[in-house]
Structure 1
Amino acid sequence: MTNEEIQPDTKDWTWVLSQRCPECGFTATDVDGPAIAGTVRDLTPRWVSALHRADARDRPAPTTWSTLEYGAHVRDVMRIFGARLDLLLTQDDPLFENWDQDATALEERYDLQDPQVVAVELAEAADSTAALFDSVADHQWDRSGRRSNGSEFTVLTLGQYFLHDVVHHLHDVHA
């Protein structure tokens, strides 16, 4: 099986900031800003455990990522959103660089990475991103920035949007 069989995700998932996700059950507005870091830390062991499963490299269907591929994606989500949070905290109204998650999966060959290495890297990225969310002061939760498509985020909504990705993909891998 090759990565080319995976269809790119072209949906704009920002709707999860205003309504419950019917697939994974996550409701972004249920998460207060100060709880984001702890939630990341609580979810990380589930990812590490999933990546240590014997079938982590196996795709459940040719057009569905394996646990390894989802794990590599979530590791990179941790890194990207950590960098975006840093921009929100250090710059006024930053514009986030575009990130093509599907191109990254192909270029970085998520399917060929070592699941145990990805587990360690995901945990490290989660720790770093959680620490940055822990550093957010009360007055900073409303700081804003924009994605390249014009979607606007505050520190709070960026964190909520980010958490949906982490939770949703745990649902995808049944972890």
Structure 2
Amino acid sequence: MEWEECAECGFVYDLGDAASAARSARELAAEVAWLLRADGPDLRTRPRQGVWSPLEYGCHLRDVFLVQRERLLAARRAGWDGGRLELAPMGRQERVENDGYASQDPQDVARQLCDAALLFGGVLDRLDAGDWAREVVYPFPEPAPRSLAWVALHTVHEAQHHLMDIRRQLG
């Protein structure tokens, strides 16, 4: 699959854009962090049942960058032996409660988010042509073989999509 598109936010999975994923991740993280640092808005309240608060989205995005970084590093360690590394789910829903997303300090989350994007981007900056094509079995939304280029783009999609989610809530 060369590309797919998110019907809600318009993000297009164009594998040709993977090389710019590190820069995009850093820029999107900086935008989310700016919103989390803003004075005044209610960052902790969920707008309705089943929808995360802006702070919870920020925490989730921070953790996405960290988990994706570890997944990329694991894929590189696994070598290129023809097999595919099966990635474990990140436990996205469980983390909200288990890590206390709603009780975290927005200033801390903003800083951590930017640091996580830098770490994620640092790994992307070191991938070579063979690494981008390397495949893993990605667990979401259903287990499927995906290239590391797709993983990089999916991470940027998460950032773009959740930035949109936060902006909707903050007006």
Sort the TM-score into its range (normalised by shorter chain): 0.7 to 0.9
How many equivalent pairs are there? Answer: 160
User: CA separation in 2, counterparts of 1:45 and 1:18?
Assistant: 26
Do structure 1's residue 49 and structure 2's residue 40 form an aligned pair? no
Amino acid at match of 1:45: A
Tell me which residue corresponds to 1:128: 119
Amino acid at match of 1:37: A
RMSD: 1.9
Do structure 1's residue 155 and structure 2's residue 140 form an aligned pair? no
Offset at residue 69 of structure 1 (A) = 0.3
Structure 2 residue runs of 5 or longer lacking an equivalent are none
Offset at residue 64 of structure 1 (A) = 1.8
User: CA separation in 2, counterparts of 1:20 and 1:150?
Assistant: 18
Runs of 4+ with >2 A deviation: 58-63, 147-150
Identity percentage of aligned residues = 28
Offset at residue 63 of structure 1 (A) = 3.1
TM-score normalised according to structure 2 size: 0.85
Contact 1:19-1:27 within 8 A present in 2 as well: yes
Contact 2:36-2:110 within 8 A present in 1 as well: yes
User: CA separation in 1, counterparts of 2:73 and 2:119?
Assistant: 11
1:167 corresponds to which of 154, 160, 168: 160
Q: Are residues 150 and 64 of structure 1, via their aligned partners in 2, closer, same or farther at CA, if it must alter by over 3 Å? A: closer
User: CA separation in 2, counterparts of 1:161 and 1:99?
Assistant: 14
2:61 corresponds to which of 63, 74, 83: 74
User: CA separation in 1, counterparts of 2:16 and 2:120?
Assistant: 16
